[in-house]
Amino acid sequence: MRFHPESPDVDPAALSRLRFVAAFKKELYQLSAGNTAAYRADIATLFVPESAGNEREALREQMERQPYFRGWSSLMRSAQDLMWHHTGRAVQDSAERLATRFRSMSNQAKGAITLNPALEAPGYLVDVDVHRMPGGYAADTDDYDLYAGALYDLGGAVYQLGMSSGAGGLLNDARGRTLIAHLAERFPGFAPARILDMGCNVGHNTVPLAAAFPQAETVGIDIGAALLRYAHLRAEGLGVPVHFIQADAERTGFEDASFDLVVSQIVLHETTPQAAANIIRESRRLLRRGGVAVHLEIPFQASEGDTFQQFMWLWEQYYNAEPNIAGVVDGDLSGMAVAAGLEDVRIGYQDIPGADGASGFHARPRSAGSLSQWLIVSGRAS
Ligand SMILES: C[S@@+](CC[C@H](N)C(=O)[O-])C[C@H]1O[C@@H](n2cnc3c(N)ncnc32)[C@H](O)[C@@H]1O
């Protein structure tokens, strides 16, 4: 089976292994309630941080001694490794076919791909394999390497299989659909002629944007060449024209005022606070007058959770190779957008549209870390 026309093949044996991983992950999400119970029973009443400001780190020390949390965290890591192991096997089995498809499609493509082998990936993307995905985002071995893209795509699909809320289905497109709902609500009638998706990865959430604005030229940029080759193949298979370009979102090299809509979707929390500010500033630089910038992020803001909630929101930072999540959880995205020169800036939570398309934008504070919403900061260039 394939979950879109150009996905890796998943035969029945592989599917059952992937379904097991998805079910295992889902069970673990549900068992996370046990961490709250353990915290309340063993730690909450006794917990006194040594000094103001170190609450999260002090709690981390306590939690790391707590048996339920240790066992649960260890299983979470095992489930993640199992996911990459089984997706990796399936992708290896399809690697030759994907490379052949990529070689043969270039002439008839509706979209395009432009790679820049001289581009240096920023340290925050190469110093760790983000999400512990083997090889990371920037891995690239030859001109027909699509491995990182296929691996991320299949891993994302497994992730979605195991999620009950906030899921984007096997196309993993909930963020793009949420962003489109946000545009319709905040900027009704907005019709961009040129769109840029910064940190597009395999285009999961670039494709829905391009499809929603078919009159526009849509460009997706990322640092990973193997991600972009796969993104190009995938978008062509889905029949949606996108131009994928290998570029750094902090300094894209595009001309000033050359886009009407510039977005990033769950990119900033995988960078550093300085890089996030640079990316938001770059989005403003690229906007034409009247253009819109939207930065969509994980729905966790430190100011809206107690120390225990914050600690759990940062689980992926501590134990799953996402070292910069706190930059967004503690950061001031709205302040960065204003400092970048965006106007009419608003920050809040946008509901992931349901089956009926209903969605709403809620000013903060509103989310308690709910995975049925995304955090969004948006503004205009005047
Ligand atoms: C979690 S993925 C998000 C993918 C996509 N935006 C989505 O929502 O489906 C983050 C992506 O951002 C990319 N990225 C991070 N920093 C970047 C930078 N400075 N320039 C280009 N891409 C970047 C990574 O390579 C990765 O593919």
Residue with the two structure tokens 């949606």: 240
> What is the dotted CATH code of the domain comprising 1-382?
3.40.50.150
∠ CA 340-344-349 to the nearest 5 degrees? 95
What distances in angstroms separate CA 178 from CA 70, 183, 265, 275, 354, one per listed residue? 35, 9, 10, 24, 10
Instruction: Say how far apart CA 124 and CA 276 lie, in whole Å.
Output: 11
Residue from 267, 280, 295 to probe ligand 1 pocket by mutation (most atoms less than 8 Å from CB): 267
* Strand, coil or helix: 343: strand
Residue 124 alpha carbon, nearest atom of ligand 1:
16
Contact 165, 334 (CB under 8 A): no
**Pairing mode, if any, of strands 343-351 and 112-114?**
unpaired
In this prediction, residue 363 carries a pLDDT of: 83
Question: For the chain, what is the radius of gyration of the CA atoms?
Answer: 21
Q: Which helix (H) or strand (E) holds 220?
A: strand 217-222
In this prediction, residue 356 carries a pLDDT of: 86
The 10 Å Cβ neighbour count of residue 101 is 17
**For the chain, give me the number of helices (H) and strands (E)?**
14, 9
Q: Which residues contact 350 (CB under 8 A, 6 or more apart)?
A: 178, 179, 181, 182, 185, 296, 359, 360, 361, 362, 373, 374, 376
In this prediction, residue 119 carries a pLDDT of: 97
pLDDT tens for the chain, residues 1 to 382:
898 999 999 999 999 999 999 999 999 999 999 999 999 988 887 766 666 678 898 899 999 999 999 999 999 999 999 999 999 999 999 999 999 999 988 677 899 999 999 999 999 999 999 999 999 999 999 999 999 999 999 998 887 776 554 556 888 999 999 999 999 999 999 999 999 999 999 999 999 999 999 999 999 999 999 999 999 999 999 999 999 999 999 999 999 999 999 999 999 999 999 999 999 999 999 999 999 999 999 999 988 889 999 999 999 999 999 999 999 999 999 999 999 999 999 999 999 998 888 899 998 766 656 678 999 999 999 9
What distances in angstroms separate CA 133 from CA 84, 229, 235, 331, 349, one per listed residue? 7, 18, 22, 26, 28
Among residues 161, 176, 241, 171, which one has the least CA distance to residue 4? 171
In this prediction, residue 372 carries a pLDDT of: 86
Where in the chain are the domains?
1-382
In this prediction, residue 20 carries a pLDDT of: 93
Contact 146, 230 (CB under 8 A): yes
Please tell me the distance between residue 254's alpha carbon and the centre of ligand 1 in angstroms: 18
**Pairing mode, if any, of strands 343-351 and 373-380?**
antiparallel
* Strand, coil or helix: 306: coil
10 Å CB burial of residue 40 (0-12, 13-18, 19+) is exposed
Please tell me the distance between residue 22's alpha carbon and the centre of ligand 1 in angstroms: 23
Q: Tell me, what amino acid is at 16?
A: S
Ligand 1: residues with CB < 6 A are: 122, 125, 137, 175, 199-201, 204-205, 221-224, 227, 248-250, 265-267, 270-271
Residue 175 alpha carbon, nearest atom of ligand 1:
8
